[in-house]
């Protein structure tokens, strides 16, 4: 049976995961956070003491790392070799490691298999950097969600403070800008807007407005093309 796929790409801190999660709930779709998969592998490399420059070490260690997802009460749980690592992958250290290890082709191939499988098996809203361009090029709807870097830094700062982490706001903004630069300029699967992706600027919209716009766009497309599942 055909499954519906919605792809959301955009830079770090644009609100992709919050908005995708809310939209998935409304539509009864599965939310797939692909950044969490890259973060789980980054945690694995950090624990093994592999340096980000050590590409052959990364390749050699990959077969020992099994990333799987399961869902508890609608929430995505990332398992690294069977261990729930949800609470360990949201740090800046893991984020930075994910940013430098995610361009390694063997890392992407491994996670892409898992992403394809999930999209084949269920209606999904999948967010990441290369979902509309490479993972799900035939997605029913593609969104490129962005926001001004200072707004993204402010949001991330508040999130970290709420979790009791201390950090410098300006330093965070510099780090986010650097992460954008890395994600956009890398040779392998760079972050870019797919030609057919709808551009949404979250700096100008609330979370609810952005969610509603995505729902509206998806329903409009489904109506236009006819419910493909009836076809």
What is the contact surface with ligand DC in residues (CB under 6 A)? 12, 34-35, 38-39, 95, 98-99, 102, 128-131, 179, 183
171 vs 118: CA distance, rounded Å:
36
CB count, 10 Å around CB of 65?
Answer: 18
Q: Give the shortest CB-12-to-ligand DC separation in angstroms.
A: 5
Asked whether 5 and 132 are in contact (CB, 8 A), the reply is: no
Decide whether 104 or 214 has the Cβ nearer to ligand DC: 104
Q: Give the shortest CB-1-to-ligand DC separation in angstroms.
A: 25
30 vs 22: CA distance, rounded Å:
11
Decide whether 27 or 98 has the Cβ nearer to ligand DC: 98
Decide whether 193 or 222 has the Cβ nearer to ligand DC: 193
Alpha-carbon distances of 33 from 49, 116, 221, rounded to whole Å? 25, 13, 23
Q: Give the shortest CB-38-to-ligand DC separation in angstroms.
A: 4
Q: Give the shortest CB-21-to-ligand DC separation in angstroms.
A: 13
Decide whether 40 or 214 has the Cβ nearer to ligand DC: 40
Q: Give the shortest CB-182-to-ligand DC separation in angstroms.
A: 7
212 vs 19: CA distance, rounded Å:
9
Neighbour-count burial of 179, counting CB atoms closer than 10 A to its CB (0-12 exposed, 13-18 middle, 19+ buried): buried
Decide whether 128 or 202 has the Cβ nearer to ligand DC: 128
């Amino acid at each position: 049976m055909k499954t519906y796929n919605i792809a959301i790409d955009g830079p770090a801190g644009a609100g992709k995961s919050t908005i995708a999660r809310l939209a998935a709930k409304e539509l009864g779709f599965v939310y797939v956070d692909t950044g969490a998969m890259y973060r789980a592998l980054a945690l694995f490399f950090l624990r093994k003491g592999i340096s980000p420059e050590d590409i052959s070490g990364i390749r050699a260690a990959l077969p020992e790392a099994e990333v799987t997802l399961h869902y508890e009460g609608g929430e995505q749980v990332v398992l690294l070799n069977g261990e729930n690592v949800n609470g360990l992958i949201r740090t800046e250290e893991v984020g930075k490691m994910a940013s430098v290890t995610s361009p390694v082709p063997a890392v992407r191939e491994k996670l892409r298999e898992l992403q394809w499988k999930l999209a084949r098996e269920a209606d999904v809203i999948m967010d990441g950097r290369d979902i509309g361009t490479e993972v799900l090029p035939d997605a029913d709807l593609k969104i490129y969600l962005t926001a001004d870097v200072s707004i993204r830094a402010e949001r991330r700062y508040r999130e970290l403070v709420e979790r009791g982490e201390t950090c410098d706001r300006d330093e965070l903004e510099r780090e986010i800008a650097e992460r954008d630069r890395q994600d956009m300029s890398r040779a392998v699967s760079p972050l870019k807007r797919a030609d057919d992706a709808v551009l949404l600027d979250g700096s100008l919209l609330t979370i609810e407005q952005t969610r509603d716009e995505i729902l509206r766009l998806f329903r409009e497309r489904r109506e236009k093309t006819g419910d493909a599942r009836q076809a």
